[in-house]
């Protein structure tokens, strides 16, 4: 992923040291080898390695493999979890086509500090690994109580809640499929009753249940996004 690279025609793409190192030392590529490059705007291009050195490298674009795809994936709003689970969520959500990762601070959120730079780096790595043409946006953390203030009218918010009154997921996702949507998953300690009551009042919210058991937050996020991807024919 080279975000600011020009990829038209036989453009040359300068690689920063880290990516040059990755191609050279991890992927064992060298001059003349073919690689794939994308910038998140112009699609995916086949390129040939001109040089890979410690200080950086250079690729020569050859032909376009795939045009840029519009980013139609869901958003994922998630309460920052401990480091391991939150990294897992960022990586798996990227693989499952999320367009935007938005940390939300809730009453029982374990850690209010969110390292968005680390999440962004994980999202880039996952996007390269799964050959997406875009990298999800990683938003700054927002207080759950504030999301209604700026919520886009056309986007449905599916709140993952383990409570019996929530709509079974298959129905809720089928009803929301095809339109812009977002999933919200709570922290390890769950969403507070007052937060759930406030969310239920919002007309853009559907409470969604993923079966009868209490899942870890990261499990719920991955299960919800997988179901979304399946039902929306992604
Ligand atoms: N309230 C739970 C408890 O009493 O143990 C703790 C919350 S659970 C570990 C973390 C989050 O995962 C929840 O806030 C919810 O968003 C999601 N979740 C867990 N189980 C779920 C289920 N069966 N259906 C939908 N969401 C679920």
Q: Is 209 in the pocket of ligand 1 (CB under 6 A)?
A: yes
What count of other Cβ atoms lies within 10 Å of the Cβ of residue 220? 24
Whole-number average pLDDT of the chain: 93
- Give the Cα separation of 163 and 138 in Å (integer): 29
Residue with tokens 């920052």: 80
Q: Is 30 in the pocket of ligand 1 (CB under 6 A)?
A: no
Q: Is 227 in the pocket of ligand 1 (CB under 6 A)?
A: no
State the pLDDT at residue 84. 87
In the chain, which residue ranges form alpha helices assigned H by DSSP?
A: 17-21, 83-95, 116-130, 169-176, 193-200, 217-231
Nearest CA, atom 10, ligand 1:
217
**Tokens representing 132?**
């997406």
pLDDT tens string 154-184: 999 999 999 988 999 999 999 998 899 999 9
Q: What is the whole-number distance in angstroms between the Cα of residue 163 and the centre of ligand 1?
A: 8
Residue with tokens 């499990």: 219
The mean per-residue pLDDT over the stretch 38-58 comes to 94
SS3 (DSSP) at 126: helix
**DSSP string over 35-61:** EEEE-SSS-EEEEEEEEEETTEEEEEE
ipTM score assigned to the predicted complex: 0.98
Q: What is the whole-number distance in angstroms between the Cα of residue 217 and the centre of ligand 1?
A: 6
pLDDT tens string 85-123: 899 999 999 999 999 999 999 999 977 788 999 999 999
State the pLDDT at residue 81. 82
State the pLDDT at residue 69. 78
State the pLDDT at residue 182. 97
β-bridge mates for residue 78, sequence order: 103, 185
Q: Is 184 in the pocket of ligand 1 (CB under 6 A)?
A: no
* Selection from 94, 99, 121 nearest residue 16 by Cα: 121
State the pLDDT at residue 80. 86
Q: What percent of the chain has pLDDT over 70?
A: 100
For ligand 1, what atom is nearest to the CA of residue 208?
A: 25
β-bridge mates for residue 44, sequence order: 38, 66
- Give the Cα separation of 210 and 163 in Å (integer): 10
The confidence band for 190, taking pLDDT boundaries of 50, 70 and 90, is very high
State the pLDDT at residue 198. 97
State the pLDDT at residue 70. 76
- Give the Cα separation of 83 and 218 in Å (integer): 11
In order of 2, 8, 98, 122, 160, the CA distances from 117 in angstroms are 16, 29, 17, 9, 26
State the pLDDT at residue 71. 78
State the pLDDT at residue 82. 82
The sign of the torsion formed by the CA atoms of 146, 149, 151, 154 equals: positive
State the pLDDT at residue 68. 87
């Amino acid at each position: 992923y080279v975000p600011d690279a020009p990829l038209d025609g036989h453009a040359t793409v300068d690689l920063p040291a880290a990516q040059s190192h990755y191609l050279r030392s991890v992927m064992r590529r060298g001059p003349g080898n073919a690689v794939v490059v994308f910038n998140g705007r112009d699609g995916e291009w086949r390129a040939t390695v001109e040089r890979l050195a410690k200080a950086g490298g250079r690729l020569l674009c050859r032909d376009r493999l795939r045009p840029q795809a519009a980013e139609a994936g869901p958003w994922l709003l998630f309460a920052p979890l401990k480091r391991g689970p939150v990294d897992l969520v960022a990586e798996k959500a990227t693989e499952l086509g999320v367009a935007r990762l938005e940390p939300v601070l809730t009453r029982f959120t374990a850690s209010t500090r969110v390292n968005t730079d680390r999440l962004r780096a994980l999202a880039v790595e996952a996007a390269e690994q799964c050959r997406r043409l875009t990298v999800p946006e990683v938003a700054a953390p927002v207080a759950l109580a504030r999301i209604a203030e700026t919520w886009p009218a056309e986007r449905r918010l599916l709140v993952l809640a383990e409570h019996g009154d929530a709509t079974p997921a298959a129905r809720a996702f089928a009803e929301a499929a095809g339109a812009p949507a977002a999933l919200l998953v709570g922290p390890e300690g769950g969403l507070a009753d007052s937060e759930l009551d406030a969310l239920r009042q919002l007309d853009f919210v559907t409470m969604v249940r993923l079966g009868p058991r209490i899942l870890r937050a990261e499990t719920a996020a991955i299960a919800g996004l997988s179901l979304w991807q399946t039902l929306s024919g992604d």
